[in-house]
Amino acid sequence: MQFNNQLLDDVNLRIMDMLGRDSSTPFVEIAKQIGISDATVHIRVRRLISEGVINKFTISVDNDLLGYDHLAFIGINVQPGFADEPIDGLSNLEEVLEIHDMHGTFDLLLKIRAKDLEQMRDVVENKIGKLP
């Protein structure tokens, strides 16, 4: 796929910056702040989406208010050449938020969230620890 550098003009960069800070910002508000019409914002955002520059709009939640205030990063090692099965298993655990390949002391770095230390221990010992 050929990338179109014209998509990265100043107006599109400003639109993406505003949406990156708050994806619920109305196009009318973006247009007002940039000094263009809301129809122009709409057309430009649609084009950024169709070209794959914008992949999705998302939300940010306050995990503390939801009762998930324990966050941990865990490094694990897997047998060389056999990472697919553990990664598939880790991907199915709702407490595992992110999985990153590492090069160094650990093979994978996991970002996990839990309600409390007891749940965190349970996730590590009884879910992650029992994966192949």
Task: Report the distance separating Cα 16 and Cα 10, nearest Å.
Answer: 10
Predicted local distance difference test score (pLDDT) of residue 81: 83
Report the DSSP beta bridge partners of residue 73.
111
pLDDT greater than 90 at residue 131: no
Predicted local distance difference test score (pLDDT) of residue 83: 85
Task: Report the distance separating Cα 48 and Cα 127, nearest Å.
Answer: 40
Mean pLDDT of 43-50: 95
Task: Report the distance separating Cα 42 and Cα 49, nearest Å.
Answer: 11
Task: Report the distance separating Cα 111 and Cα 95, nearest Å.
Answer: 8
**CATH 1.10.10.10 applies to domain 5-50:** yes
Predicted local distance difference test score (pLDDT) of residue 3: 56
Query: What residue spans in the chain does CATH classification 3.30.70.920 cover?
Result: 70-128
Q: To the nearest whole percent, how much of the chain has pLDDT over 90?
A: 77
Query: What residue spans in the chain does CATH classification 1.10.10.10 cover?
Result: 5-50
User: What are the contacts of 117-120 at 24+ separation with CB within 8 A?
Assistant: 117/70, 119/70, 119/95, 120/70, 120/72
- What CATH architecture applies to the domain 70-128? 2-Layer Sandwich (3.30)
Mean pLDDT of 29-50: 96
The encoded tokens of residue 78 equal: 């897997």
Q: Three-state SS for 76?
A: strand
The encoded tokens of residue 107 equal: 């093979």
pLDDT greater than 90 at residue 80: no
Please tell me the pTM assigned to this model: 0.65
Predicted local distance difference test score (pLDDT) of residue 75: 95
64 pLDDT band (50/70/90 cuts)? Answer: confident
For all residues of the chain together, what is the average pLDDT?
Answer: 91
